[in-house]
Each structure stands twice: as C-alpha cells, then as structure tokens.
Amino acid sequence: MAQHQQEKQLTDAQVIKQARKMADEVAANFDSRMLRVLDLILSWVFRKIFSGIRLHHIDRLNRAANDRQLIYMPSHRSHLDYLLISYGLYTQGLVPPHIAAGVNLNFWPVGGLLRRGGAFYIRRSFAGQQLYTAVFRNYLDVILGRGYPVEFFPEGGRSRTGRLLPPKKGMLRMTVESFLAQPARKAALVPVYVGYDKLVEGASYVKELRGAAKQSESAGGLLKATRIFKSSYGSPHVSFGEPISLDECLSRVEPEWRSKLQAGDKSFIPGVVDHIAQENMERINAAAVINPIGLVAMILLSSPQRAMAEDELLAQIDHFIALLQRLPYSDDVILPEGSAREILDAAARTAGLSRIDHSWGPIITATGKEAVMLTYYRNSVMHVLATPSLIARFFRHSERVNEAELKESCAQLLPFLKRELFLRVDEQEGEALVESHIDNLVALGLLERCDEGVLSRPEVGTEAYAVLTGLGRILRETFERYTMTSLLLVHAPGETPSPRSDIEKTIIDMAQRLAIVSGREAPEYFDKNLFRVYLDTLISQELLAQDEEGGEPRIWCNPRLAVFSQRWVSLLGPDVQQSMLQLIRRPTMPSAAEGE
C-alpha cells in the first residue's frame, strides 16, 4: 500500500479507501444460514433437471478431511460445477469450500447469494494491478491460515471442447506460498473430475465453437436459464481423485525444501508448482467417469460418417468395456453399469441419437449439433483408451507389425499424448506399458502373436477387425493435427528461425482449411491451445529449438524432425499425407532474416 501510495501520490485515506474497496470486491461473506437455504433451493432444482447426482470416492475424501486442510482443484466444464461440488460435500457432512469464482459471476442477484455461500471473487488478470494482487494474496493467506477448505479451478475457464485445458498456475502458486509461510500445517490438494450425461450449456458451447461471441453472465441470462427445466440432463458425476499431500509432494520434488526455506531460498517454488499442476490434471483424468454417452460417442465418432450398424456398435461397447475391465486405466476410473444394450439406450436418451430402421438391421447415427456435442463427451473420456488406440492405429494400413518395433515407436509417441491428454503414464516405462496393452489386445483376440516376434491383426470383415479399426480411429484427428503440424514445420520454417506467432497462425489456418475440405465436425481440430501444447512438446523432446529475439519467440526445426514426422504419417496412410502435402505447399512464413 505504501509503494502504491508513493507511486500514485495518494493520501493515506485515499490508498486505504482503494485497498478496502478491492478487499470488499474479493471477500466472501460466509453465512451458514445461507447454506441451508441453498440446500433447499438446489435440492429442488437438481431433482427437476437430473436423475440423481453421483459422488465417487467419497470415503477416501472423508479420511483425508480428518487430518488435513483440503484445497479442491476440479475440472471446469459448467457453471454448475461450483454448485454440484459444494452441494455434494454438504450432503456428505463435509464443510463446503470457499470458492474462487470469476468476477463475471458477481452480478445481481447471483453475486450476493454466492458470496454468502462462500464464494470469493477473482479478476481474470492481475497484470499491472499490484495493489489488487497484494490485497488478494493477503485475503487468500487469511482464509487458508484459518483452516477453511478452498476451491479453485486450475483451468481458469470452462472447457468448450471437453478436454482438460492447460492449467493456469497463479492461484496454485499463491496457495503453495501461503502454505510455506506456515509449513507446520497439514494440507492436501484434491483433484476433482466433474462429468455430465448432458451439458446444460451445450447449445451455447456449440454456437461459441462455431464462432459466436461468448455471452456475458447477467440477470437476463439467468431468467432465460429457466428453460433448462424443460429438459432432462441425466446424472452428473463428481469423482474425487487421489489427494496430493502438499508436504510429501514438496519433499519428492525438492527433498531439501525445509532447509532452503529457512535460508530464504525460494528458488524451488516454480518447479514445485509446475509439478503439482501437472500431477493434479493427471489425477483428475485418473478419476474419470466413463458414462454411457462418453463411451458411445468414442465409438460412433470413429465411424467415417458418424453412423454405425446397431449390432456392430453393441459389439464395440462390449469389447471396449472388456479392455478397460481387464486392464483399467487407473484404480479410480468408473465404468458404466449394465449391458451394452442398456448403455446404448442410456446414451441415446441424452444425446439425441437417431435410429434408422433398415431391412438388414437398424443403423445408429448422429447429425448436426448433436454430432458436435458428441465430440465434447468423447473428449472428456478418450484418454482412457489412448494407449490401446495408438497401438491399434499401426494396424490400419499393415496386416503384420514387428512387436519390438511397435513398442519402440509407441514409446516415442506417448510423451505427446501424455502432454495433451494428461495421461497417467510414466514415460520411462513406456515400452513396458505398451507391452501390457498388447497383451490385453491379444487376450481379447484383437491381435495375434505370430512367429518371430510379429503381431498380426484379425482377418478383414470379422467382428474383431471392426473393433480394432474402431479403436484405432479414436485418436485419428489427434494424429492428423500432429502430422500436419510436423510436415508444415519441416517445410517451413525448416532450419531457419521464424517467429512462433507466425507459425502458429499458419498452422491454425491450415487446420481450418483441412477441416472444411474433409468435413471435420470436431471443434478442437483447430484449437490453438492444442497446437501450442504440441509445439511445446516438440521443444521439450529437442525436435524443435526456440529462442527469443527482441522479445519475440522464434522456433526452427532440428533435422531429426523430418524423420520423426514420418512416424505420424505412417499412422494415417498415403491419401491423408497427399492432401496435407498439397496444403503445405501454399503457406510461406517469413524468416527472421527476411523480416529484416
């Protein structure tokens, strides 16, 4: 405050008034009576729109709450996330957290209600707001220091594609620094997976992904939201992941953190924050709930025309569940209950699937905005089958594959999927992981081991071949993005440094064009975040190099990228490769030398 007062030449009264106004903007006004009122309101609302709220792994959460202060870090897919988590905790006898809510939700009458329910408000950006930053940090120190449970969404905003977004680390860093100020406290970070059978905001997400502007939250919008009572939204799922003990995590990342802290050395904090941010997102996905719509969406969207014979779809449901039962993605993943028929019927009710009768048997299909929303539900669970999908993709254009070469290739490609999909895999044990999935595929008859260390796929036209092909198509669009990006980078800039911003724009332009000519419906196909993650992974794997000149990041290719890109090409086939090569001949990006 003193620094701000001096810089702005303010009086004592003026700077105190400004700081107090900021504190009032931020602070919750928790009232236990409001919790009882909200309990009554939400119980009525949720009964109207949901068929039941499902909570998972609540016993483990209760054990953690017995001796640790809890900081919840959930995925963010809907405005209902706030309410579902707090409501679920309240019904289980746990203290609802103070929630870091975007200041965009501080409008009448919602803002005051949420504030009394424990919400505190945070601006989208702290840049250039030193006094606000100081006030907010101190407020966070107060509520954490008093032992209140706290909740914030590490992604920052709601995911419009169903994928987890790259985590923002500002709130996490403040939380870690607050803990380090009182390191005797026991605290645990709780990853939370929130999933929906049907999104309340689904229609608005489709519009936004097709280019419409995001609608600001307002009282008028709240009144329009009453339309949700005309539909049923299935069952939302709140799955509490394995808690991250803060002191144990610090000791793993930096064993000497206590002595360094006593010496005033805080250089280890960024590394700890990066580790926790990644770990939390991986544990969120490890607690995923594979609901019927997510599973059916993975299968139906793998069909070229988003249409599939009903008996074939039912067979794939059975095989995919068998894969996940024999070799679970994690101990915390929840699989759908019931027969394949019951799973398909449950998905059809919430997703608006069409059933077309035919003399040879019914066909299940999805079109229009329903097909776009299917990509959302697929994206929220596709990570659980990412590794077997990668393996299956190698048999798309080859009948037989050498097993040793397959394991080596998959192990080299897994880091890219791990970074994008927050896979719970150890890169150092990549080949062992791939081998376990190959064993699983062989046990289910989807692959066969031949002589001399060779794997073969099932005979074309069999049910097993259809299942293996569908499994390999789950990540097809992901591999297309990797391929087009790699080929473009090799073509230009090649080994000549070029501004990263120019390269990113060219890649996205190319992706948009390819999406149009190929009829792609997946909105994330040209999501800039995914391309940035891929570029960052190429840099971490030393296939790209990056430096800065005049504050502008520049990148260029390691010659190894040209060879490495052929691994992606081999997963797609010659037709896709040719269409991409035709596209990349058009764009040219100015090099740094040309810019001068």
| Tens digits of residue pLDDT in 394-422 | 998 899 999 999 999 999 999 999 999 99
pLDDT at 143 exceeding the cut of 80: yes
- Mean pLDDT across the chain, nearest whole number? 89
- Enter the tokens of residue 270: 């960024």
Question: Which DSSP helix (H) or strand (E) runs through 55?
Answer: strand 54-56
pLDDT value of position 591: 45
Task: Calculate the CA dihedral of residues 391, 423, 332, 313 and round it to 10 degrees.
Answer: -40
Residue 223: the pLDDT is 44
528-529-535 Cα angle (round to 5): 90
| Predicted pLDDT at 107 | 81
Residue 383 has pLDDT above 80, yes or no: yes
Question: Do 493 and 538 meet the contact criterion of CB atoms below 8 Å apart?
Answer: no
What is the structure's pLDDT at 592?
Answer: 42
Percent of the chain's residues with pLDDT above 70: 93
The tokens of 519 are what? 């009829």
Alpha-carbon distances, residue 30 vs 23, 86, 96, 178, 351 (angstroms): 15, 13, 11, 21, 38
pLDDT at 144 over 50: yes
> Residue 596 pLDDT more than 70?
no
pLDDT at residue 319 is higher than 80: yes
Give the HSE-up count for residue 389: Cα atoms under 13 Å, Cβ half-sphere.
22
pLDDT exceeds 90 at position 467 = yes
How much is the pLDDT for 215?
62
The pLDDT assigned to 587 comes to 54
Q: Is the pLDDT of residue 274 over 60?
A: yes
Q: Is the pLDDT of residue 356 over 50?
A: yes
pTM for this entry: 0.92
In this structure, what token pair is assigned to residue 252? 């793993």
**Taking residues 515-532, what's their average pLDDT?**
75
Strand runs labelled E in 465-570:
498-499, 544-549, 552-557
Please, is 172 exposed, middle or buried when counting C-beta atoms within 10 Å of its C-beta (0-12, 13-18, 19+)? buried
Residue 244 pLDDT > 80: yes
Question: Lowest-confidence range among 139-153, 196-210, 440-454, 530-544?
Answer: 196-210
pLDDT given at position 492: 80
pLDDT of 472 higher than 80: yes
Which has the higher per-residue pLDDT, 372 or 241?
241
Which position has the higher pLDDT, 180 or 212? 180
The Cβ-side half-sphere exposure at 28, using a 13 Å CA radius, reads 25
End-to-end Cα separation, the chain, in angstroms: 45
* Residue 44 burial class via C-beta count within 10 angstroms: exposed 0-12, middle 13-18, buried 19 and up: exposed
Say whether pLDDT at 393 is over 90. Answer: yes
pLDDT tier at 521, thresholds 50, 70, 90: low
Two structure tokens written together for 299: 């299968």
Using CB atoms within 10 Å of the CB of residue 2, give its burial: 0 to 12 exposed, 13 to 18 middle, 19+ buried. exposed
The CA distance from 323 to 340, in Å, is 14
Q: Is the dihedral of CA 1, 170, 505, 560 positive or negative?
A: positive
User: Is it the case that residue 226 has pLDDT exceeding 80?
Assistant: no
Over the stretch 283-305, which tens digit does the pLDDT of each residue have? Answer: 999 999 999 999 999 999 888 77
Task: Output the pLDDT for position 216.
Answer: 59
Residue 354: pLDDT over 80? yes
Distance CA 233, CA 227 (A): 12
pLDDT digits (tens, 9 = 90+) for 327-340: 999 999 999 999 99
- Whether 7 has a pLDDT exceeding 80, the answer reads yes
Mean pLDDT of 572-582: 72
Residue 243, pLDDT > 80, answer yes
- Asked if residue 217 has pLDDT above 60, the reply is no
Q: How confident is the model at residue 480 (pLDDT cuts 50, 70, 90)?
A: confident
For 95, phi then psi, to 5°, come to -70, 125
d(CA 392, CA 400): 12
Query: What does the pLDDT read at residue 139?
Result: 95
Residue 594: per-residue pLDDT: 41
